Chain A
């Protein structure tokens, strides 16, 4: 079974793929600089901090001396990332040694941040008695509802009570890669990537959707750079404060409606103008730019007898659990199920790996069991992995069988030839048969022709 992992489609990869001029323009805003800095791997962040107040470039060799031998691979990854995002620029001095220096605008913005501190992108609206603002708790429930509604619609449009206002072409763009319609009359089925998508964390799913949204932005007449900078700015707003829509540009106003459907902001009608309030999903955006763990409360308890109790009312959770377990009954606040061999085989058929199931269970463990180490009993996790390994009892290697050798010497010569290349898989000296890896076939034929 090919281990195809859905690429988490890191948002930063998309930012890094922008043309150089647009990327430099993005760094005019100090929020984007902050967000980009926070998305870097830890070593890269350290390097940025160290180089922040240095004016002259530093040679690559001297940077390599900063790390221990163990860390060289991480060092390379960090430097590559910094070059990709154009935070570090390569400078060639006369000695032709590569040296790096920081991007001017990035550097000055960050220096300003450190000495004078960050600011908010826009001022919140003063509290107005005429409009009742929802509390933080209400905002959070609103966000979760919207997000789940969207996800349910994504995977199965028939099951949803109210649909979002996304046009069907937008939904199709989101569904591309996640669903495919195998037969025209049937409803579309989830693909392998689709299953893996469902088991990812909310933040990773959110970034995937946003990435698709931005990729299709050009067709709808919105500038992707504007959208990217708006989304990154959004994460720096304060949770629970209302902001006026009049401070947004045209593009941003169009985007707000879509973001409200996803649950990132709540759109309200104020006395004179529209207001929007960012929810927790929005303010967590910059936390999750790289794969960070989500900090939601878990809801699943797995027992050592393979029974599973999920304290949740959400239909989405029920669907996700149905992917790999047998749901027995559903109570008003509890879903009871069991992890069985059949249900797991079903999941494996659909392309889900045991690791994904185990990490889903661990990350969503109920707080009562999350404190215990391990949060999911070992016999359950071991058994899931064993059942997965059941499907891998046979390993296949493409190869060729050679038989009917005219003489023993030729047979021996062929064996040695194959062994020299490390491609000999099996030989039977009595019957003079040889199995060799497929890649060597052409050379083997030439060798045999040469021998005759």
Chain B
């Protein structure tokens, strides 16, 4: 369902759902402290709200075992001194991280295994549900987009869920922008921005994060037709196999449902179709690139 009715609006009204990575294991070792990071993000949120009276910003925190809504600017208290809003965001973030680590410890028993990846699939789903609610609330709504501020590495076990959310976003025509504040590139987010038509950026200098955010990610969807925005050099299209969640380049694909496996299976675990081809021998079949 196209968001065509939103064209009746002045063109640059936007709804930005920002997904903040709050993985404590990542932030403990990161070059930019979390408080500094917030010092860049909160003025960025203020600038989005400044650009247009009707803009809305929603903050969702991506934890290691859970995700939660932190802030919604459309919430009622429209005037509100921004200082109060800022301290409210910080307090909610602290509460969230506390709850999240408790959940993490609980499920892992003694908590010795550090969860190095954050729950990107969960927060993408939360964001898409929120936007879907906005779509159903009436004919006139802002143009939505999702901004992922990600630092932790990708968790291959989330591959299926993340790809499903990416395809939902593509169908709803919601661009997913990604800003990588960690050390390594994220294959999931590169694919997400490529497929949905968003912007993927890994800033070289994290001190100037606000400037990167303001120059690139504050652009509304209408102006993106006219401005030159960063394009990634190449997209990492690697997938994870469905059986072991390893990242693989070559593997076996079910011809019915397109699930990917690294080893030969007699039966597809997703759709149940049986493969009656005999098991291959150990020589590697020749590949066509």
For chain A, the bracket of interface size reads 35 or more
| Interchain CB contact (< 8 A) of A117 among B8, B85, B225 | B85
In-complex Cβ contact of A43 among B8, B54, B226 (8 A): B226
Chain A residues whose C-beta falls within 8 Å of the C-beta of B206 in the assembled complex: none
**Which listed residue (B50, B52, B78, B225) contacts A113, Cβ 8 A?**
B50
Given A37-B50, A49-B51, A293-B9, A42:B43 Cβ within 8 A: no
Give every chain A residue within 8 A of B5 (Cβ-Cβ).
Answer: 370-371, 373
- Check A115–B43 contact: CB distance below 8 A: yes
- Pick from B10, B53, B140, B220: contact of A286, CB below 8 A: B53
| Bound CA span A67–B224, Å | 9
Instruction: Kindly state the separation between the CA atoms of A119 and B10 in the bound complex, as whole angstroms.
Output: 26
Q: Is A422 an interface residue (CB 8 A)?
A: no
* CA gap between A148 and B9 in the complex, in Å: 25
Does residue B102 face the partner (Cβ distance < 8 Å to A)? Answer: no
Q: Please, how many angstroms separate the alpha-carbon atoms of A119 and B85 in the complex?
A: 12
Contact A114 B139 (CB under 8 A): no
Task: Looking at the assembled complex, report how far the CB atom of B179 sits from the nearest CB atom of chain A, in whole angstroms.
Answer: 16
Contact B215 A65 (CB under 8 A): no
* Interface 1/0 per residue, A61-83 and B, CB below 8 Å: 00001111011001100000000
Instruction: Contact check, B8 vs A66: say whether CB atoms are below 8 A apart.
Output: no
In Å, the complex CA distance between A114 and B46 comes to: 6
Do the beta carbons of A120 and B79 come within 8 Å of each other? yes
CB within 8 Å of B: which A35-68 residues:
37-38, 42-43, 45-46, 49-50, 52-53, 65-68
Q: Are A117 and B83 also in contact (CB < 8 A) when A38-B51, A293-B10 are?
A: yes
Instruction: Verify B140–A71 contact, CB threshold 8 A.
Output: no
Q: Assuming A71-B226, A75-B226, A370-B139, is B82 touching A116 (CB within 8 A)? A: yes
Cβ contact within 8 Å between B52 and A52 = no
Considering the complex, which residues of chain B in the window 205-257 have a beta carbon less than 8 Å from any beta carbon of chain A? 210-211, 214-215, 218-220, 222-223, 225-228
**Contact of B228 with A65 in the complex, beta carbons under 8 Å:** yes
Whether B227 contacts A71 by the Cβ 8 Å rule is yes
Whether B86 sits at the interface, judged by CB under 8 Å, is yes
Judge if A238 is at the interface, Cβ distance under 8 Å.
yes
Chain A residues in 8 Å Cβ range of B222: 42
Q: Does B47 contact A (CB under 8 A)?
A: yes
Q: Please state if B51 and A373 are interface contacts (CB–CB under 8 Å).
A: no
With A and B bound together, what is the CA distance between A371 and B140 in angstroms? 9
Is the beta-carbon distance between B81 and A74 smaller than 8 angstroms? no
Do the beta carbons of B227 and A66 come within 8 Å of each other?
A: yes
B157 proximity list for chain A (CB < 8 A):
none
Q: Among the listed B140, B210, B219, which residue makes an inter-chain contact with A46, where contact means beta carbons less than 8 Å apart?
A: B219
- Cα of A295 to Cα of B4 in the assembled complex, Å: 16
Is A413 at the interface (CB under 8 A from chain B)?
A: no
The answer to the question of B72 belonging to the interface, with a C-beta cut-off of 8 Å to chain A, is no
Let me know if A117 and B86 touch, CB within 8 A.
yes
Q: Which residues on B sit within 8 Å (CB–CB) of A66?
A: 227-228
B20-73 interface (Cβ within 8 A of A): 43, 46-47, 50-54
Q: Determine whether the beta carbon of A295 is less than 8 Å from that of B82.
A: no
A42 and B223: CB pair below 8 A?
Answer: yes
Interface residue from B12, B85, B215 paired with A42 (Cβ < 8 Å)? B12
| Complex alpha-carbon distance, A49 and B9, angstroms | 22
Q: Specify which of B12, B210, B226 is in contact with A45 (CB 8 Å cutoff).
A: B12
The answer to whether A117 and B81 have CB atoms under 8 Å apart is: yes
B219 — which chain A residues lie within 8 A by C-beta? 46
Interface size on B, residues (CB 8 A): 37
A107 to chain B, nearest CB (A): 13
Which of B46, B53, B215 touches A38 (beta carbons < 8 Å)? B53
* CB contact between B225 and one of A38, A70, A114, A295 (< 8 Å): that residue: A70
Contact present for B228 and A34 (CB under 8 Å): no
Tell me the bound Cα distance from A361 to B53 in angstroms: 26
Residues of A within 8 A of B53 (CB): 38, 286-287
Check if A43 sits within 8 Å of B223, measured CB to CB.
Answer: yes
B10 contacts across to A, CB distance below 8 A: 290-293
A114 and B218 CA atoms in complex are apart in Å by 14
- In the complex, residue of chain A having the shortest beta-carbon distance to the beta carbon of B43: A114
B228 touches A68 (CB 8 A): yes
A119, B43: Cβ atoms under 8 Å? Answer: no
B258 to nearest A CB, angstroms? 34
| A70 lies within 8 A of B51 (CB) | no
CB-CB under 8 A from B223, the residues of chain A are: 42-43, 46
In the complex, the answer to whether A50 meets B226 with C-beta atoms within 8 Å is no
Q: Is the CB of B51 within 8 A of A114?
A: no
For A332-369 the 0/1 string (1 means CB < 8 A from B) is 00000000000000000000000000000001000100
A287 to B43, CA, bound (A): 22
Q: For the complex formed, measure the closest distance between the CB of B260 and the CB atoms of chain A, giving whole angstroms.
A: 37
Are B50 and A42 in contact, with the CB atoms below 8 A?
Answer: no
Residue of chain A at shortest CB distance from B82: A117
A370 surroundings in chain B (CB, below 8 A): 5, 139
- Return the chain A residue nearest B210 by Cβ: A53
Chain B residue at smallest Cβ distance from A237: B79
Q: Are A38 and B79 in contact (CB under 8 A)?
A: no
Nearest 8 pairs of A and B residues by beta carbon: A117-B82, A71-B226, A42-B12, A114-B43, A292-B10, A49-B214, A42-B223, A114-B46
Contacts A67-B226, A74-B226 known; 13 new A-B pairs at CB < 8 A: A38-B50, A42-B223, A49-B218, A52-B47, A66-B227, A68-B228, A70-B226, A71-B225, A71-B227, A114-B50, A118-B81, A287-B54, A373-B5
23 CB contacts below 8 A, A to B, read: A34-B50, A37-B51, A50-B211, A50-B215, A66-B227, A66-B228, A68-B226, A68-B228, A71-B225, A110-B50, A114-B43, A115-B46, A116-B83, A118-B82, A120-B79, A287-B53, A287-B54, A292-B10, A293-B10, A367-B139, A371-B5, A373-B4, A373-B5
